[in-house]
Amino acid sequence: MDWRIESLTDEAVQPWLDQVAGQRIRVFREWPYLYDGDLAYERDYLAHFAAAEGHVLVLARHGDEVIGCATAMAMRGADPAFQQPFVQAGFDLDEIMYFGESVLHPDWRGQGIGHRFFDEREAQARRLGKRWATFCAVQRPSSHPLRPADYRPLDAFWEKRGYRRQDALRVDYPWKDLGQSAETQKTMVFWTRELPVANTGR
């Protein structure tokens, strides 16, 4: 194994944000996000992330190269659009950890790094006393012309991790697709997991 995982918070995340921005732009060009990335937007997004309560940046590194990353923050620090479905459903936002992106270079997939991304973010959620972990995934029609013929959704991986799709929890969020001239709204559906209570030995 020639990769390693680091979990960073506070000022320790700052030196890595430009590499994280590059990873997000590159990986999110792939299906199903088709994101036409913009470095200025990424820097603004990541500045907000780095200022959010309870944030953690999980890096996968090969030497000094960032090969993947994952983020999380207390839901109170997330975009209000992502908070609203939970408010409407009666959740206590203070009990929720929001997982942002989990992106990994294709050459390093299938080696367990994705599981480590979840392990580290769930550990941060438990340190903060959160009851729930959640993330959202974009919904694209199966007939979309850019859907790869060999595409396999990550649903089975997420379910194995204990997450369940919550069709009642969804948000519309805009970005510009590759080859498009303007942003369009995309539907994002949330997945949630109730985190196990830590065993204190009592």
Q: Tens digit of pLDDT for each residue in 130-178? A: 999 999 999 999 899 999 999 999 999 999 999 999 999 999 999 999 9
Q: 82 in a domain, yes or no?
A: yes
The DSSP annotation for 92-142 comes to -GGGEEEEEEEEE-GGGTTSSHHHHHHHHHHHHHHHTT-SEEEEEEE---T
Q: 200 in a domain, yes or no?
A: no
Q: 102 in a domain, yes or no?
A: yes
* Residue span of the structural domain in which 48 resides: 4-143+153-194
Which pLDDT does position 77 carry in this prediction?
95
Q: 159 in a domain, yes or no?
A: yes
Phi-psi region of 22 (alpha: psi -120 to 50; beta: other; left: phi over 0): alpha
Number of domains in the chain: 1
Which pLDDT does position 198 carry in this prediction?
61
Q: 183 in a domain, yes or no?
A: yes
Q: 202 in a domain, yes or no?
A: no
Q: What is the pLDDT of residues 93-130, one digit of tens each?
A: 999 999 999 999 999 999 999 999 999 999 999 999 99
Please give the torsion angle defined by the CA atoms of residues 161, 167, 170 and 174, in that order, rounded to the nearest 10 degrees. Answer: 90
Which pLDDT does position 103 carry in this prediction?
94
The structure's pTM equals: 0.93
CATH number where 85 lies: 3.40.630.30
Q: 148 in a domain, yes or no?
A: no
- Which string of b and e fits 167-188 if b means at least 16 CB within 10 Å? eebebeeebbbeeeeeeeebeb
- Name the residue type at position 90: G
Q: 170 in a domain, yes or no?
A: yes
Q: What is the pLDDT of residues 120-132, one digit of tens each?
A: 999 999 999 999 9
Token digits of residue 121:
């973010």
Percent of the chain with pLDDT over 70: 97
